[in-house]
Amino acid sequence: MTSMTYSSPLIAAALTLVSTATLAQSSEQSQSEVRKLYSGRMMPDEQVELSRHIDRLFPTRTVKASSTPHEFGKRDASLEDFSLTHDGVTYDIYDFMALNRVSGLMAVHDNDVVFEQYALGNTPDTPWMSMSIAKSISSTLIGAALNDGYIESLDDAVSKYVPALVGSVYDDVTVEQILLMASGVAWDETYADPNSQRRQMLEVQLSQEPGALLEFMGGLERAHAPGEVWNYSTGETQLLSAIINGAVGKSASEYLSETIWANYGMEHDAKWWLDSEDGQEIGGSGLLITLRDYARFGQFVLEEYHTPNVLPEGWVAESARPHEIGGEEIEYGYSWWPEGEGAFSAVGIFGQWVFIDPDNNMVIAMTGAQPKAEAFEIVPVTEFFHALSDHLANENQ
């Protein structure tokens, strides 16, 4: 029998080739999963798994929580007689959770948990990908940076804090115009259209090339003068992450921990999706957060609304109100959605929500797995939350 021997360099080279091929296959599979999600072509169990474990597919950075979490009180509230009638159909809390594919729902009144339920296999320890709630968190960090003196004025040009955008289409756009999504830069947010700028951005994001997202944003075209037209753009909130990094000199994850996560008292570490290995946070999506910490974030914002500490005086109210853009009142604030009657929300596609009602001192947090990115809710969420907030507040009187 003839024996064959291989040198160490040959073995190392072979192992490297196998490892590279395996990583490439894994990367392609990860990218395919995310494309399926955005296209609305993912089976329910696959969507739930992806929403819990985006950190297994792409690099993330940890947002450190507190060793002494903010404590909620506990108060039993009856919802047996609560319902909402919409278009002639009456829905109770069980209908709402089942029909809207809710994975977790929590209501906090006067800092007391009055309702907390989980579904789809989730528990209090299950993290859930935030999607656009991350936009509202990024916006809140801009407020903290303004309060801390890292940002001098919302009228500053974005390029003051992001040198990579000097000379680009964003060179004369202000920080406030980015917060309001009124840069005038051309953008199509259609999630299911692979030719939209949103999906083009996703492809750049999936490539995991350092600096590629900023280069992509800087290469966009102008459609209107800055401040004249409102146009919802996830790309704008990627710039918020870059502004935080440039102004503060720290990653958005580290600054989020310092100002809110550890400072206020979140229970679990969060994880934030990065644009590349050890790169920049995706400012508009990709934070893994538990339901209770979504509620704590809402409680933090509610308390800052009443008694500012981390954020500037009046910041939350300004963030949460409609704004006039180009002579038209737009129902959008600083990456927050006004909901009428003084309430406002952070909202993410596929069914995440942080609803804040200052008049009732109420926070309602929700995670979900709706099969399509937009307009799929069977029971209207905002209407249901307003009714639930009023019911729970009145029950305690």
d(CA 216, CA 211): 9
What's the pLDDT score for residue 367?
Answer: 97
E strands within 56-140?
60-63, 73-74, 84-86, 89-91, 102-109, 112-118, 127-129
What's the pLDDT score for residue 35?
Answer: 81
Residue 181 is encoded by which pair of tokens?
């999504």
Architecture of domain 44-395: 3-Layer(aba) Sandwich (3.40)
- The candidate with the shortest Cα–Cα distance to 285, out of 96, 138, 78, is 138
What are the C-alpha distances in Å from 118 to residues 90, 123, 365?
A: 22, 6, 12
What's the pLDDT score for residue 375?
Answer: 62
E strands within 213-314?
270-273, 287-290
d(CA 392, CA 295): 16
**Domain limits, the chain:** 44-395
Q: Which residues pair with 357 in a beta bridge?
A: 362
Neighbouring CB atoms inside 10 A of 372's CB total 15
Structure letter (DSSP) for residue 55: G
- Rounded to 5 degrees, φ, ψ at 343 are -85, 165
Tens-digit pLDDT string for the chain (397 aa) = 434 444 455 444 444 443 334 334 456 777 788 788 777 777 888 888 888 888 888 899 999 999 999 999 999 888 989 999 999 999 999 999 999 999 999 999 999 999 999 999 999 999 999 989 999 999 999 999 999 999 999 999 999 999 999 999 999 999 999 999 999 999 999 888 888 998 898 888 888 899 999 999 999 999 999 999 999 999 999 999 999 999 999 999 999 999 999 999 999 999 999 999 999 999 999 999 999 999 999 999 999 999 999 999 999 999 999 999 999 999 999 999 999 999 999 999 889 999 999 999 999 999 998 887 776 788 999 999 999 999 999 987 6
d(CA 234, CA 188): 10
Residue 392: burial class (beta carbons within 10 Å; 0-12, 13-18, 19+): buried
